């Protein structure tokens, strides 16, 4: 918690606190400093560092080993929710209500269950994300499914894509997820066909060239590139 206190002295815009590795004393110290400085706090619960007492040893072993059943996922999700709500209550007792909540697991379904469960239990904004998703393409797939499934249900206020790699790629993918759900409309959408035996050109190279050319364009256009004249005109409409 001392690092969080120092970060606030340096002018950060928001601080994340993890109930799993910050005791009550630390949480209260951070909350009081944040209240004085007008800095919001994100209660960031993580399945890999859940508070003690919320799960029995067998369930913890399953989490570590990766052996999960649907029932285990729901139990883990419920435990994450209870941890977040307990910390929320602790902050509210101190008169602090500038709160954001996140409930992240490396398992996509556990993450979805957790956010679904808490969405009707708290008025606070929810920050969506699947944690420790790994490298591409695995990380892209897990983040897209987890975040997208929740956004479609109207759950979530902010998002973070977690990849083992450049944070710039995380930002790009975040915008792509939002745009695919019609939640972001400030850049072109590029549509191209998967090609077939009728294609007589190097469509992949053409698409890549166009994609690079429109990377910095901020106009909500739909650009279609098709490989043949049979379905091309109709699909391009």
Number of domains in the chain: 2
pLDDT of residue 112: 98
> CA nearest 228: which of 206, 195, 190, 205?
195
Regarding whether 99 and 19 lie in a shared domain, the answer is yes
> What residues in the chain have per-residue pLDDT under 50?
64
Q: Of 185, 204, 223, which marks where a domain is finished?
A: 185
pLDDT digits (tens, 9 = 90+) for 149-193: 999 999 999 999 999 988 999 999 999 999 999 999 889 999 998
> pTM here?
0.87
Asked if 211 and 203 touch (Cβ cutoff 8 Å), the reply is no
- Please give the C-alpha separations between residue 39 and each of 10, 85, 156, 215, in angstroms, as whole numbers: 12, 20, 21, 34
- For 194, the domain range is 186-237
Q: What is the CATH number of the domain that holds 152?
A: 3.20.20.20
pLDDT digits (tens, 9 = 90+) for 90-108: 999 999 999 999 999 999 9
pLDDT of residue 162: 92
Regarding whether 95 and 75 lie in a shared domain, the answer is yes
pLDDT of residue 66: 56
Regarding whether 211 and 143 lie in a shared domain, the answer is no
């Amino acid at each position: 918690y001392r690092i969080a206190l120092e970060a606030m002295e340096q002018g950060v815009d928001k601080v994340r606190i993890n109930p799993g590795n910050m005791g009550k004393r630390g949480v209260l110290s951070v909350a009081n400093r944040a209240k004085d400085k007008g800095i919001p706090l994100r209660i960031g619960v993580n399945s890999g560092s859940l508070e003690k007492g919320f799960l029995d040893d067998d369930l913890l072993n399953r989490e570590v080993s990766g052996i999960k059943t649907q029932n285990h996922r729901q139990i883990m999700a419920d435990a994450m929710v209870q941890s977040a709500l307990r910390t929320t209550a602790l902050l509210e007792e101190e008169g602090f209500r500038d709160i954001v909540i996140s409930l992240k697991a490396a398992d996509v379904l556990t993450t979805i269950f957790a956010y679904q469960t808490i969405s009707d239990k708290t008025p606070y904004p929810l920050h969506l994300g699947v944690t420790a998703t790994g490298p591409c393409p695995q990380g892209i797939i897990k983040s897209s499914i987890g975040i997208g499934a929740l956004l479609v249900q109207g759950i979530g206020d902010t998002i973070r894509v977690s990849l083992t790699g450049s944070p710039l790629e995380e930002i790009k993918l975040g915008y792509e997820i939002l745009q695919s759900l019609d939640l972001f409309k400030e850049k072109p959408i590029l549509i191209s066909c998967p090609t077939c035996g009728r294609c007589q050109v190097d469509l992949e190279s053409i698409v890549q060239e166009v994609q690079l050319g429109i990377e910095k364009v901020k106009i909500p256009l739909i650009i279609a590139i098709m490989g043949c004249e049979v379905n091309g005109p109709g699909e391009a409409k």
